[in-house]
């Protein structure tokens, strides 16, 4: 009987949160209804579904470099808004399946059932039961149950890695040393070497990306994934670092399009 109670709490929390907050990068709650133990939440329609689907479904066209950056920036804006609210909100379940995309690839955060209010006054953290998805949770949260906005920053770093590498956060089909994305990627992102980093970048991009922007994005992912929460940046700083990357085009080769000359009439 425990599961329905947990689901009820999560749906109630989501209704309260989305009923209070409005932001271009948070999914809109259109309405909800309840009957006995059944709960139904109705959201705005997000035409392109989840980021997870676009990264990992075999028959889905690969996302371009600029689209990946746009999605990362949009998701960062959503998290920064939650963290910078008058009473900070910790999302607690930031992952690719909870990032939804509209027809223009505008990213919006969804599923706020695990969201928690941030610490009050002089408190440094919120103590709570460890919940979330394997691979995305910050190490200090897993070990102690201590939750802060920096826990979300860690999860953002994981998603940024997924966007850069095209690899799942946990993939049991890979060799043992490559199953954890974070552990596999650290050596590539640790060194300031474009050639080394290039070996980790998603092959589906086919070289169509800015090498300098990729370096800067990788450096930011590495900072977000710091073992020490205090060493991780605030989401506002992450956003400030990522937004200028959209304008960087060094190394991007535009596809050649042949236009047949028109005959003179």
pLDDT-derived band at 261, boundaries 50, 70, 90: low
pLDDT-derived band at 7, boundaries 50, 70, 90: very low
In a domain, residue 108? The reply is: yes
In a domain, residue 10? The reply is: no
R_g over Cα of the chain: 20
Tell me which residue of 179, 253, 164 sits closest to 214, measured CA to CA. Answer: 164
In a domain, residue 139? The reply is: yes
In a domain, residue 26? The reply is: no
Give pLDDT, residue 255.
Answer: 42
pLDDT tens digit sequence for 130-139 = 777 889 999 9
Residue 6 clears pLDDT 50, i.e. is over it: no
Q: What is the residue range of 182's domain?
A: 46-247
Tell me which residue of 65, 87, 241 sits closest to 153, measured CA to CA. Answer: 241
In a domain, residue 258? The reply is: no
What's this model's pTM, rounded to 2 decimal places? Answer: 0.84
Domain count, the chain: 1
pLDDT tens digit sequence for 158-195 = 999 999 999 999 999 999 999 999 999 988 887 666 67
In a domain, residue 254? The reply is: no
Residue 256 clears pLDDT 50, i.e. is over it: no
Pick the catalytic residue from 36, 93, 122, 206.
93
Written in H, E and C, the secondary structure of the chain is CHHHHHHHHHHHHHHHHHHHCCCCCECCEEEEEEECCEEEEEECCCCCEEHHHHHHCCCCCCCCHHHHHHHHHHHHHHHHHHHCCCCCEECCCCCHHHEEECCCCCEEECCCCCCEECCCCCCCCEECCCCCCCCCCCHHHHHHCEECHHHHHHHHHHHHHHHHHCCCCECCCCCHHHCEHHHHHHHHHHCCCHHHHHCCCCHHHCCCCCHHHHHHHHHHHHHHCCCCHHHCCCHHHHHHHHHHHHHCCCCCCCCCCCCCCCCCC
- Give the residue, 91 or 7, on which the prediction is more confident: 91
φ/ψ (deg, to 5) at 228: -90, 120
Residue 117: active-site member: no
Give pLDDT, residue 253.
Answer: 43
Residue 5 clears pLDDT 50, i.e. is over it: no
Q: How far apart are CA 245 and CA 240, in angstroms?
A: 10
Q: Which residues pair with 38 in a beta bridge?
A: 35
pLDDT-derived band at 239, boundaries 50, 70, 90: very high
- Give the residue, 32 or 70, on which the prediction is more confident: 70
Q: What is the CATH number of the domain that holds 117?
A: 1.10.510.10
- Give the residue, 62 or 13, on which the prediction is more confident: 62
Question: What's the token pair of residue 134?
Answer: 């394997």
Kindly provide the b/e burial profile for residues 59-81, where b requires at least 16 CB atoms within 10 angstroms of the residue's own CB. Answer: eeebbbbbbbbbbbbbbbbbbbb
In a domain, residue 57? The reply is: yes
Q: How far apart are CA 255 and CA 262, in angstroms?
A: 22
In a domain, residue 28? The reply is: no
Q: Provide mean pLDDT across the span 54-69.
A: 87
Q: How far apart are CA 141 and CA 118, in angstroms?
A: 14
pLDDT-derived band at 196, boundaries 50, 70, 90: confident
């Amino acid at each position: 009987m425990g599961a329905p109670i947990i689901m009820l709490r999560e749906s109630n929390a989501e209704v309260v949160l989305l009923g209070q907050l409005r932001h271009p990068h948070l999914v809109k709650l259109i309405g909800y209804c309840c009957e006995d133990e059944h709960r139904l939440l109705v959201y705005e329609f997000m035409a392109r579904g989840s980021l997870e689907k676009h990264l990992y479904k075999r028959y889905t066209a690969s996302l371009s470099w600029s689209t990946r950056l746009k999605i990362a920036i949009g998701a960062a804006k959503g998290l920064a808004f939650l963290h910078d609210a008058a009473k900070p909100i910790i999302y607690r379940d930031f992952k690719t399946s909870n990032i939804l995309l509209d027809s223009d690839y505008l990213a919006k955060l969804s599923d706020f059932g695990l969201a928690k209010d941030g610490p009050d006054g002089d408190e440094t953290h919120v103590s709570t039961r460890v919940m979330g998805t394997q691979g995305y949770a910050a190490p200090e949260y897993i070990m102690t149950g201590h939750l802060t906005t920096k826990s979300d920053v860690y999860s953002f770093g994981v998603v940024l890695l997924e966007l850069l590498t095209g690899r799942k956060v946990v993939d049991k089909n890979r060799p043992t040393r490559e199953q954890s994305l974070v552990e596999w990627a650290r050596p590539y992102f640790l060194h300031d070497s474009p050639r080394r980093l290039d070996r980790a970048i998603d092959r589906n991009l086919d070289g169509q990306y800015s090498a300098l922007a990729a370096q800067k994005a990788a450096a930011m992912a590495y900072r977000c994934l710091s073992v020490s929460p205090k060493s991780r940046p605030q989401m506002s700083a992450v956003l400030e670092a990522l937004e200028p990357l959209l304008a960087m085009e060094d190394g991007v080769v535009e596809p050649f399009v042949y236009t047949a000359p028109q005959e003179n009439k």
